[in-house]
Chain A
Amino acid sequence: MTGIIGLIEGFRSVLSPLVLLTLGFSTVVGIIIGALPGLTATMGVSLLVGLTYGLPTDVAIAAIMGMYVGAIYGGSQSAILMNIPGTPSAAATALDGHPLALQGKGAEAIGTATAASFIGTLFGTICLAMITPLLANIALRFGAWEYFLLALFGIMICGNLTAQVPIKGWIVGVLGLAISTIGQEEMYGYSRFIFGNLSLMGGISLIPAMVGLFGISEVLYSLSSRNAGKVVGDIKGKLINLRYITKNWALILRSGIIGTVIGIIPGVGEDVAAWVSYDTAKRTSKSKIAFGTGNMDGIVASETANNACIGGALIPLLSLAIPGSAVAAVVLGAIWLHGVRPGPLLFFESPGFIYEMIAMLILASIFMLIFGLLISRLSVKILSVKSAILMPIVAALCVIGAYSINIRVFDIWVMLAFGLLGFVLRLTGYPAAPMTLGIILGPMADSNLRRALHIADGSLLPFVTRPISLMLVAAILALIVSNLLKTRKKNAE
C-alpha cells in the first residue's frame, strides 16, 4: 500500500509542465543520439549530466532518464536501416533487423523494435519498484567487509562480461581503482599521487573522465575510421504487428527477465543483456537457422532485454550505490551531483526520489513509444547526417560538458587525456566500462577495506566468517579460476 501511495506521489511530482516537457524533449534527443552511429547512450547521458548541472534536481534527472531510455532504444533504428548499431546494445538487433529491412519489411522491424523496447522498459521498471526495497533491506546488513568485496566483485564481473579475454577487463577495472586513489583520501585528507599539482587534490572528476572515455574517444574513432555506413532506402508500410506481439508474450517475458537480471549485475549493461537474450532466443527457437536471416524474434529478444536492463541497472544503483551498467554509472554521478545519496539509506533520507524515478521511467517509455514511431519515418534523413558535421559539434559539447561541473579548464584536459586513453583501449581490445566502474567504486573499496582491517585489527578472518562475505569471496574465486582456465585453453589452441 505504501508503495502505491509512493508511486502516486511520484507521478504527482513529475507531472509538472517543465518536467514533462524536459522528459519528452530529452527522450526525443535520446532517440536521435542513440540512432546516430558514433553517439552512444553513455556519451549522451555523460554530456547531459554536465549540461544540466545547474537545473533543479527533478528537471535534471528527468532529462537524464529521458535520454537514457531514448538512446538505448534509438540504436535499433540505425541497426535495422544501416546494419550499424547506433549503440552497442543494438548490435544483436542488426543481425535480423537489417535483413528484414532489405526484404522491404523495415517499417515492421522498426515498429516491432519500438514495441519491444517499450514493453522491456516497463518490465524493468516494475522490477525496479519491487526489488529495490528488498535489496536495500539486505544491504542494511552489509558491513565494511561486504562493501569492499562487492566493489571488487562488481569490477571483476564487469571485466569478465565486457572483454573478450576477462583478464583485460580486470586490468582496466583495477586501473580505474588506481586512478581513484589520486587526490585527497577520505580518512586523513592526505594527498596521494598529485605530484605537486594542486588541481589533482580533488582527484580525477568522474564526469570529465567519462565524457572523455566515451565521448572524445568516439569523436577520434569516427573521424579517423576508414569505415562508413550506407543508408537503406525508405520505410513504407505498417509499423506494428500487434498480433505478433501478443502471440510471442513468452519470448517477451523471458527477454525482460534476462535483461533485468543482467542489469542488476554491476557494470555489465545493456549490450550484454541484448546478446544473452538473443542467444537464448536462438537456442530455444524451433527455427534456429532463420536467425540472422530476418527473424522478428531476434529483434524482440534483443530490444526487450536491452531496455529491461535499464530498470535492472537502476536496482543496485539505488539500493547499493553500485551502478548496473556504464550508463547507470553516469546516472549515479548525476544523482550524487544533485545531493542525493543512493544506497540503503535512500529509503529513509529521500524515499520520494525512488518513486519519482519510477514515474519518470514509465513516462519516458510512453514518450519513446510515441516519438519512436513518429520519428521512424524520418530516420533515413536523420541517419544521413555526416560524421564530419556531427562529430565536431559533439566535441564542442563534450568540452562544455566536462567544464561545467567544476568550472575548471583543468577538467577539459582530463577529458582529453581520457579521450586518448579510451581510444587506445578501443584499438587494443580493452573495454572502457570497467575503468568507469573502478573510478566510481574506488573510494568505497578503499575506505571499507581500511575500515574492515582496522576493526578486525588486521585480521582477514571476518572476510570468510561473515556469511555474505564468504559468498562474495567464493563468487570472486570461482570467477578467477574459471576464467584463468578458459584463457589458458584458448591460448593453447
Chain B
Amino acid sequence: MSEGKLGLTDVVVGAVLLLIGILMVVYAQQMPLMGPKYVAPGMFPTVIGMILLLLSALLLVPSIKNVHTLVISKTKRESVLEIWKRDTDFKKLLFLVTVLVVYLISFSYVSYFIASLLFIGLLMFAFKASTVIKTIIIALVTTGAITYLFGTLFRIPLP
C-alpha cells in the first residue's frame, strides 16, 4: 500500500491474524495446568493470542474503511497487487520455489554435490546467467568448493 496507509492486503492479513489469535487462545486453554495457573504452559500463548486478536481488530477496522475508499477513487492509490504485478515476475517466482522444493527433496536420493550442482546449474541456465559452457564451469567450481570447504575442511556431514 503506498504512503504507508492500510488497504485491501491488510484486510487479508487482519483476517489471517484473527484466525491465528483465536486458534492460539483455544489451543492454549486446552493445555494442562501442571502447577499454579500463573505459570501454566498455556499462560503466555493465551496472552499472545489475545494481543493478536487486539492487533487484528486495530488492523481490520481502518483497512476495511480504506478498501471502500479504494473502490471509489482507485486512481489515487496504487494497490499492493498492482505494485506486485509491476515489480515481480510470478512465473519466475513459482519456478524458483518449485526448484527449491525439489532441491531439498533430492537430498534423500542423491548426494549433496550432485543435488547442488544440478540446482545451481539449472537456475543459472534458466535465468540466462552466461553461456552453457561457462554455466557448467561456474556450477562445477562453486559446488566443488562448497562441498570441499564444508564437507572436508569443516567436517560437516553434508545432507
Q: Do B97 and A226 touch across chains, with their CB atoms under 8 A apart?
A: no
Judge whether A409 and B104 touch: CB under 8 Å: yes
Q: Within 8 Å of chain B (Cβ to Cβ): is A488?
A: yes
Q: For the complex, is B130 an interface residue (Cβ under 8 Å from A)?
A: yes
Chain B residues, Cβ within 8 Å of A54? 154-156
Q: Which of B23-77 contact A (CB under 8 A)?
A: 24, 27-28, 31-32, 34-45, 47-49, 51-52, 55, 58-59, 62, 65-66
Residues on A with C-beta less than 8 A from B1 are: 429
Evaluate contact between B39 and A453: CB separation under 8 angstroms: yes
Say yes or no: B88 contacts A178, CB within 8 Å.
no
Assembly CA distance A446 to B48 (angstroms): 10
A185 at the binding interface (Cβ < 8 Å): yes
Whether A174 contacts B88 by the Cβ 8 Å rule is no
Report the number of A-B residue pairs with Cβ-Cβ less than 8 Å.
188
Within 8 A of A (CB), among B129-159: 129-130, 138, 142-143, 146, 150, 154-159
Q: Which residues of B contact A175 (CB under 8 A)?
A: 17, 20, 52
Q: A178-B20, A392-B120, A393-B120 are in contact. Are A449 and B90 (CB under 8 A)?
A: no
Interface string of A386-427 (1 = CB under 8 A from B): 111101110111011001100101001100100110000001
Write the chain A residue with the least CB distance to B154: A54
Cβ contact of B9, chosen from A399, A419, A428, A451, cutoff 8 A? A428
Closest Cβ of chain B to A450, distance in Å, is 4
A396 and B80 form a contact (CB under 8 A): no
Please give, as numbers and ranges, the residues of chain B lying within 8 Å of A185 by CB-CB distance: 41, 44
Known interface pairs A224-B89, A388-B128, A428-B9; A449-B142 also in contact (CB < 8 Å): no
Chain B residue nearest to A195 in the complex (CB): B27
The one of A51, A190, A227, A388 that contacts B123, using a Cβ cutoff of 8 Å: A388
- What A residues does B155 contact at CB under 8 A? 54
- Given A51-B154, A225-B88, A181 and B45 touching (CB < 8 A)? yes
Instruction: Verify if B100 is at the interface (C-beta below 8 Å from A).
Output: yes
Quick check: A388 and B48 within 8 Å, CB to CB? no
Q: B104, A164: Cβ atoms under 8 Å?
A: no
Asked if B15 lies at the interface with its beta carbon under 8 angstroms from chain A, I say: no
The CA-CA distance from A481 to B37 in the complex, in Å, is 31
| B55 close to A171 (CB less than 8 A) | yes
Asked if A389 and B34 make an inter-chain contact with CB atoms under 8 angstroms apart, the answer reads no
- Establish whether residues B119 and A446, one from each chain, have CB atoms under 8 Å apart when the complex forms: no
A225 touches B127 (CB 8 A): no
B126 CB to closest chain A CB (Å) equals 8
The winner among B65, B100, B146 for most chain A CB atoms within 10 A is: B100
Interface hits, B1-18 → A, CB 8 Å: 1, 3-6, 9-10, 13, 17
Q: Which chain B residues border A226 with CB–CB below 8 Å?
A: 86-89
A190/B34 in contact, CB under 8 A: yes
**Alpha-carbon distance A487/B4, docked complex (angstroms):** 9
Q: B41: which A residues are within 8 A, CB to CB?
A: 185, 187-188, 190, 192
The 10 closest A-B pairs by CB, nearest first: A164-B4, A388-B127, A388-B129, A453-B38, A392-B123, A224-B93, A190-B41, A446-B44, A450-B39, A224-B92
Q: Which positions in B face A, CB cutoff 8 Å?
A: 1, 3-6, 9-10, 13, 17, 20, 24, 27-28, 31-32, 34-45, 47-49, 51-52, 55, 58-59, 62, 65-66, 80, 84, 86-90, 92-93, 96-97, 100-101, 103-104, 107-108, 116, 119-120, 123-124, 127-130, 138, 142-143, 146, 150, 154-159
